[in-house]
Structure 1
Amino acid sequence: DGEQANAIAQRISNWKNDRVLPEQALAAATSPADMLCAQAYLRYQRALKAYNALDFDDLILLPTILFEHHPDVLEQWQQQVHYLLVDEYQDTNTSQYLLVKQLVGIRGQLTVVGDDDQSIYAWRGARPENLAQLQADYPRLKIIMLEQNYRSTARILKAANTLIANNSHVFEKQLWSELGYGEPLRVIRCSSEQHEADQVVAEILDHKLRKRTRFGDYAVLYRGNHQSRLIELALQQQQVPYHLSGGTSFFARNEVKDIMAYLRLILNENDDNAFLRIANVPRRKLGASTLEALGNFANARHCSLSQACSRIGSEHIPEAGLKRLREFRAWMSSIRGQCQGEHGVAGIRQMIREMDYEDWLLQLSSSEDVAQRRMGNVHFLIDSLQRVMGAEQLGLDEAITRLVLRDLLEQQDEEETGPDSVQLMTLHAAKGLEFPHVYIIGMEENLLPHRVSVEEDNIAEERRLAYVGITRAQQTLAMTLATKRRQFGETINCEPSRFIAELPQDDLQWQGGGSDTAEANEDRGKETLAGLKNLFG
C-alpha cells in the first residue's frame, strides 16, 4: 500500500535525521509496528548498498559517520571550508547540526540565520533547540536581532508578537514595521464549512472588484489539505482561477475519479474512458485479456464498450468473462433506472452501497482512518451533487454534467493556470511566502491547533504555525471559523481556536454571529455572488 510505504519511508528518514542506524532501530523496537519499520529500514539499506546508491538523508548522515571514524578526512574538509553560512537554522535536524559542527571545528567561523518562532517541522526531524545549543557550543556567539519587518503592517505584526509571546523563547524579539498601522484583523464566524467557503470566495470577488487587485494577491491558508475541498468547489463555481500548492486537488483524488467515472457512465453509457476506469473498481475479475478482446470487438464494429458487452459472443471471450461483462452492463442499466426522477441522488448512494465501495477502500488503504477519510470524499462529492441540484433546480443529468465540466475545467486550469490565480495552500507550504491579502480558514479547536497536537500537548508548535500564517499577510488578514462542521458523516459543534483569544482583542473586528441557519447564510452568499457576477458583466 502506497500510504503505508510513505509512512515507513518517513520513519526511516526520521531515524537517519536522528542518527539512528538500522541495528539501533531494531534493538529499540517495542511494538510490532516499530519492528516492521526497523526491518524495512535494514532491508532498505541493504538494497541501497547493493545498488551502490544513497538517498538524500544519507548525504548528511554518512559524512558525519565518516568524519567521526576518520579524523584525517575531516581535517581535509575543514581546510576547504573556511566560512560556513546556514539559513533556516531552526529547521536543522540532529545529523545536520553535527555536520555543521564538524566542518566548523574549533575555528568557529560560522554564521546562521534562523527564527525559533518559525520552527514548524518537528514532525520531520527538525530540532529548534539547535538554536539554543549554539550558545553552549560557541560561547563567543554574537547575536544580531533582525526585528524590522518590511512585509506586514504594524497591526499584523502586533498580533503575531502577542500570539507568539505565549511560547517560551530562545531569543526574545519584537517585530516592528514602518508600513503604517493597517486595517483591523477580521474574524469571520460562519454557520458551516459550506458558508465559510462561500463567504471567502464572495469576499475575494468583492474586494477584487472594489480595489482593482489581482487574483494572485489572495491566499487561502489552512491546517490540513482536506480543508481545500469546499474552497476549490466554490472557486470553480464562480470561475475563479486558483492554484493548489502541495496537496492533491479534490477531483484528482482516486476515489473521486472513481465515482466521477460512475456518474459519467450513468449519464452516458457510451463513455468508454469511464467504462474502462470502473470495470474493475471494485474488482470484478475482468482481466486485461477480456477487456482487450472487448475493445478490439468494439473498434471493429464502431460501437461503445458498453454496447459491445451485449453483442460480443463466446467465440471472442470465454464464457466466464462474458458472463461478468453482461452482469456489469445489466447492473449499470439498473442503476441508471434507479437514478431517474426525483430519487436520483438516492439511487447513486444505493449504487455505492451495492458495490461495497467502502469495503473496497478499506482493502486499499493503510488504515481504517485513511479509508474513512477517502470515503468522506465520496460522501462529500455526492453531497455537492445534491447541493447543485437543490440550489439551481437542476435534474440529475444536468447536475452531473456540471460536475463533469468542473472536473474538466480543473484539469485545464492545472495546465494553463498562470500567476494571476488565488493561491490555496497549507500553513506549512506557505512558509517563506507573502501575499497582500490572506485568509486563514478553520480557526477552531482541533483544526488549529490540530487535534493530535492537543492530545500530545504540543501546542507550542501549533502556535508557531498560526504565527507563520499571520505573518504571511502584507496588508489584510482575515480568519474564519465555523460553528458546525461535518465530520465522518456527522455534524459536530466547533469551538473557536484558543489562538484567537491570545490575539490583541482591540485589533480584531468580528463579523457574523453564526446564529443564522445554514440555508439563510447560503442564500445570502448566493445573492452576493449573483450581484458580483452581474457587476462583472
Structure 2
Amino acid sequence: FHRRLQRGLHWKDFAVLYRGNFQSRILEMKLQALQIPYKVSGGTGFFSRGEIKDLMCYLRLLVNPDDDNAFLRVINTPRREIGPATLEKLAGWAAQRDQGLYHVCDDFALGEVMAGKAADKLRAFKTWLDEKRRACFGHNSLQAVNELITEMDYESWVMQNASSPRIGEKRMENVWQLVRNIQRMLEKQEDDEEGASDLEAVISKLVLMDMLEQQDEEDDSDRVQLMTLHASKGLEFPHVYMMGVEEELLPHRTSIEEDNIVEERRLMYVGITRARESLAITQALTRKQYGEKIDTLASRFLEELPLDDLQYIGEGFKKDEEKEDQVAQASIANLKALLD
C-alpha cells in the first residue's frame, strides 16, 4: 500500500514469488482481506481448488438451504450412492412442491416417486446436515466445522481420489488452511465486536471472496502477480517480493538432504533478477510444521549477497524512524493528490 501510494504505481507493478505453490494460500487470503486484486500465474487460485469448492459448497448449504448448485455438488461428495436417476426424480418432486432440492429430501411422500432405499439415503443426509447446521450456529461453531469434515470422512475420500498420497495430503492441507482462516476471521469478529462471533457472516465473506476470485480470473487488468520462482523465468517486474527465503524452503529440504543445492541457487538468482527496481526478501520467524511451531533459519544464500546492498527491516533490527516518517508522509501526500 505504502509503495503504491508513495510512487503512484499500479498493482501489476508488483510480483510475489515463492518456492512452492503451497505458500500462496495464506498470501491469497491476506490479499483478499485487504481487497488487493491479484492473479495466480502457473497455478490454481485457492478457491478454484476442488477440495475448497467442496467445503465451500457445504458451508454455502449450511447458510442457504435453497442453494441447489451447492446441494448438487455435495450430495455425493463423499460418495453416498445417490445416483443421477435419484436426483432427477428429486428435482421433479421439488419442482412440483415449488421448493429447493435440500428442503424436500425428508418429505414423507418422497418414497412414492423413488425407491425407498434412495429416499432413506436422502433423508439421512438432510438429518445429518440439519444437525451440523444447529451445531455450527451454536456456541462452538469452529468445532462444528471440524466435525462436519471428520464425520463425513472427507480425508479418506480425498486420499482415494488423489493421484498420489502426497497430492492427497496437500489437498487436505488446503482444507485445514480454510478452517484456520475461518478461525482467524471468527477471532477477529470477537475482537472487533466485543465477544460476538457470527459464522454466517464469515461464510458470507468467504463466498464473496470466492466470487471476487472468479471475477479476477476473467479479468486481466491491474493485479498483483503471484507465482513460483520456476514460473517467473523470463519475466520481469518493477518491484518483486521473494517469500520464505529460509533453509528447507530455499534451498529446499530435499536438495539439502541430497547435498545438491546448485539448482536452488539458480532459482534464487532467477528471483533476484526478476526485479527491475526493487527487491524485498522475507523470512518468517516461525512456521507451523506437522502441527507444531518451529523456528526458521535464514537461507544460506543470503550470506552470498553483498552486504552493502542489503537493508534489514523487522524484528531484531533497529528501526529507522526518520525514514518511516518520510514514507508515511509521502503516502499521505499521494493519497491527498488522488482525492483532489
TM-score (normalised: structure 2): 0.89
| Structure having the higher Rg | 1
Instruction: Report how far residue 514 of structure 1 moved.
Output: 6.4
Corresponding position of 1:291: 87
Name which of 421, 430, 436 aligns with 2:238: 436
Q: How is 1:368-517 mapped onto 2 (pairs within 5 angstroms)?
A: 368-393=165-190, 394-418=197-221, 420-513=222-315
Instruction: Report how far residue 206 of structure 1 moved.
Output: 1.1
Q: How is 1:201-212 mapped onto 2 (pairs within 5 angstroms)?
A: 205-212=1-8
Name which of 129, 152, 168 aligns with 1:332: 129
Q: Could you list the per-position Cα deviations for residues 189-247 of structure 1 after superposition, in whole angstroms to 9, with x for gaps in the alignment?
A: xxxxxxxxxxxxxxxx1110111011111000111111111111111112111111010
Instruction: Report how far residue 417 of structure 1 moved.
Output: 3.4
Name which of 140, 143, 159 aligns with 1:362: 159
Corresponding position of 1:20: none
Q: Verify the 8 A CA contact 1:372 1:488 in the aligned structure 2.
A: no
Partner AA of 2:41 in structure 1? S
Partner AA of 2:213 in structure 1? E
Partner AA of 2:284 in structure 1? A
Tell me, in whole angstroms, the C-alpha distance in 2 between the residues paired with 1:392 and 1:337: 20
Q: Could you list the per-position Cα deviations for residues 309-356 of structure 1 after superposition, in whole angstroms to 9, with x for gaps in the alignment?
A: 122522211011100000000000000011123301110001111111
The answer to whether residue 156 in structure 2 is matched with residue 353 in structure 1 is: no
Corresponding position of 2:24: 228
Corresponding position of 2:323: none
Structure 1 residues 488 and 297: alpha-carbon distance in aligned structure 2, compared to 1, 3 A threshold: farther
Q: Could you list the per-position Cα deviations for residues 420-456 of structure 1 after superposition, in whole angstroms to 9, with x for gaps in the alignment?
A: 2111111111111111100000101111111122222
Q: Verify the 8 A CA contact 1:242 1:417 in the aligned structure 2.
A: no
Tell me, in whole angstroms, the C-alpha distance in 1 between the residues paired with 2:312 and 2:141: 41
Tell me, in whole angstroms, the C-alpha distance in 2 between the residues paired with 1:302 and 1:416: 37
Instruction: Report how far residue 257 of structure 1 moved.
Output: 0.7
Q: Could you list the per-position Cα deviations for residues 227-272 of structure 1 after superposition, in whole angstroms to 9, with x for gaps in the alignment?
A: 1111111111121111110101111111111111111111111111
Instruction: Report how far residue 489 of structure 1 moved.
Output: 3.0
The answer to whether residue 15 in structure 2 is matched with residue 213 in structure 1 is: no
Tell me, in whole angstroms, the C-alpha distance in 1 between the residues paired with 2:157 and 2:116: 26
Q: Verify the 8 A CA contact 1:376 1:489 in the aligned structure 2.
A: no
SS at match of 1:283: coil
The answer to whether residue 113 in structure 2 is matched with residue 316 in structure 1 is: yes
Partner AA of 1:209 in structure 2? L
Partner AA of 2:262 in structure 1? A
Tell me, in whole angstroms, the C-alpha distance in 1 between the residues paired with 2:69 and 2:292: 34
Instruction: Report how far residue 505 of structure 1 moved.
Output: 1.8
Q: Verify the 8 A CA contact 1:241 1:417 in the aligned structure 2.
A: no
Q: Verify the 8 A CA contact 2:13 2:238 in the aligned structure 1.
A: yes
Q: Could you list the per-position Cα deviations for residues 496-531 of structure 1 after superposition, in whole angstroms to 9, with x for gaps in the alignment?
A: 11111111122211111269xxxxxxxxxxxx9xx9
SS at match of 1:247: coil
Q: Verify the 8 A CA contact 1:295 1:305 in the aligned structure 2.
A: yes
Q: Verify the 8 A CA contact 1:482 1:514 in the aligned structure 2.
A: no
Tell me, in whole angstroms, the C-alpha distance in 2 between the residues paired with 1:492 and 1:284: 40
Tell me, in whole angstroms, the C-alpha distance in 2 between the residues paired with 1:506 and 1:342: 55
Partner AA of 1:452 in structure 2? T
SS at match of 2:140: helix
SS at match of 2:278: strand
- After the TM superposition, which parts of structure 1 deviate over 6 Å for at least 4 consecutive aligned residues? 534-537
* Aligned Cα root-mean-square deviation (Å): 1.9
Q: How is 1:220-259 mapped onto 2 (pairs within 5 angstroms)?
A: 220-259=16-55
Corresponding position of 2:321: none
Q: Verify the 8 A CA contact 2:189 2:198 in the aligned structure 1.
A: no
Tell me, in whole angstroms, the C-alpha distance in 2 between the residues paired with 1:317 and 1:342: 38
Q: Verify the 8 A CA contact 1:376 1:488 in the aligned structure 2.
A: no
SS at match of 1:438: strand
Structure 1 residues 284 and 368: alpha-carbon distance in aligned structure 2, compared to 1, 3 A threshold: same
Q: Verify the 8 A CA contact 1:243 1:424 in the aligned structure 2.
A: yes
Q: Verify the 8 A CA contact 2:241 2:280 in the aligned structure 1.
A: yes
SS at match of 1:429: coil
Tell me, in whole angstroms, the C-alpha distance in 2 between the residues paired with 1:296 and 1:412: 33
SS at match of 2:113: coil
TM-score (normalised: structure 1): 0.57
Tell me, in whole angstroms, the C-alpha distance in 2 between the residues paired with 1:453 and 1:288: 48
Q: Verify the 8 A CA contact 2:38 2:225 in the aligned structure 1.
A: yes
Tell me, in whole angstroms, the C-alpha distance in 1 between the residues paired with 2:126 and 2:288: 35
Structure 1 residues 367 and 499: alpha-carbon distance in aligned structure 2, compared to 1, 3 A threshold: same
Q: How is 1:164-183 mapped onto 2 (pairs within 5 angstroms)?
A: none
SS at match of 1:397: helix
Corresponding position of 1:304: 100
Q: Verify the 8 A CA contact 1:282 1:360 in the aligned structure 2.
A: yes
Tell me, in whole angstroms, the C-alpha distance in 2 between the residues paired with 1:438 and 1:385: 29
Tell me, in whole angstroms, the C-alpha distance in 1 between the residues paired with 2:220 and 2:97: 40
Number of aligned positions between the proteins: 317
